[in-house]
Amino acid sequence: MSTRLLEDHGQGGADAPPALWDPIVRISHWGVAAIVLANGVFNKGGGTLHIWLGWIGMALLALRLIWGVIGTPEARFSAFPPNPKAALSHLADLVGGRPRDYASHNPAGALMVYAFWAMLCVVIASGLVMTDGVSPMRIADQQAAVAAGDWSVLVTEDDGAEDGNSGEEAGEWIKEMHEIAANLLLLLAVLHVAAVVLETRAMRRNLVAPMIIGRR
Amino acid sequence: MKLRTLPLVVTLITAPITAFALPEVGAMIGTNPTDATAALAAAGCDVTDFEAENGKIEAKCIETASGELFEVAIDPKTGLVTNVKAGD
């Protein structure tokens, strides 16, 4: 593989991951990572900031999913199809100290990506249900009104429809689902970081650099 | 201890608990902060803050007997308690 080819295409070759992932992949990767960490660990659930970050995360996920169809070759879903058998084979290669190169995410990494996106969808969908899909701007207005003593802003025309225990139980169930999925996201993130460290050592190649500014 | 005095002793021991029991789900608290603060104070929980959360009012209050923080969810339309849980 010549240096010129690397420069021309920003890739390590047909059977090597990109030397620098494209901007959409990098922005969505780090943006979602920061949001998952912030919303899962640091800020208060249900708060204005939490909901703002959730909506930004939803936009980044949507962008990345669209990019999976129309984006660069290595970013497309077709470049890293979910394949559990291939993932196991890759892990066996890794343990055996002879991991192969792949043009996009390796099969184990691909499974992680799809699991992460699926869990992100659960978190976002349950969050939207919990907030009735109310925009972050309106949530901020409601918070300010309640802080000023006006509770009427939370009363809506269709409030009667969900009154009673069943509505409350459903709400609690959705909240539980949101929290469990968010915790699973954090667990997947920890596994992802551990896998990157292991693979970086096994392949003697920095896997983080291509996700930031590229390999030097 | 004589058996006849036992009910009195039990009553005296449990009186502070029964007099200041936190409101149960379904209890009327009020549809504005003034009424809700008064109702929760009467139940032995001093309100520190009200917040909007998931379409409900969440009253944060400290139980005077235990000093423990509780979160009481209130339906803003009906004024009824929809959930009570120990705070974070």
The confidence score (pLDDT) of residue A202 equals: 84
Q: Does B48 touch chain A (CB under 8 A)?
A: no
Q: Point out the least confidently predicted range of A188-192, B8-12, B20-24, B52-56.
A: B8-12
The confidence score (pLDDT) of residue A7 equals: 37
Beta bridge partners of residue B59, listed in sequence order? B50, B72
Contact B51 A155 (CB under 8 A): no
Q: Would you call B64 helix, strand, or coil by DSSP? A: coil
Say if residues A171 and A68 touch (Cβ distance below 8 Å). no
ipTM value, please give it. Answer: 0.72
Say if residues A203 and A99 touch (Cβ distance below 8 Å). yes
The confidence score (pLDDT) of residue B55 equals: 82
Tokens of A55: 């909506």
**For chain A, domain boundaries:** 23-67+116-151+168-213
The confidence score (pLDDT) of residue A4 equals: 36
The pLDDT tens digits along chain A (216 residues) read 333 333 333 333 447 778 899 999 999 999 999 999 999 988 878 788 999 999 999 999 999 999 999 999 999 999 999 999 999 999 998 888 888 888 899 999 999 999 999 999 999 999 999 988 989 999 999 989 999 999 998 887 565 544 556 666 777 899 899 999 999 999 999 999 999 998 888 888 888 889 998 765
Say if residues A181 and A122 touch (Cβ distance below 8 Å). yes
State the pTM of this model.
Answer: 0.77
Return the residue matching tokens 């003034």. Answer: B34
Tokens of A208: 């983080």
Q: Does B54 touch chain A (CB under 8 A)?
A: yes
Helix (H) or strand (E) holding B81: strand B81-86
The confidence score (pLDDT) of residue B88 equals: 64
Partner residue opposite B77 with nearest CB, options A145, A146, A159? A159
Pick left, alpha or beta for residue A145 (phi over 0 → left; psi -120 to 50 → alpha; otherwise beta). alpha
Question: CA-CA distances (angstroms) from residue A174 to A58, A81, A125, A139, B9?
Answer: 18, 30, 10, 19, 45
The per-residue b/e assignment along B41-68, b for 16 or more CB within 10 angstroms, e otherwise, is eebbbebeebbbbbbbbbbbbbbeeeee
Could you tell me which residue, B22 or A181, shows the higher pLDDT?
A181
The confidence score (pLDDT) of residue B76 equals: 93
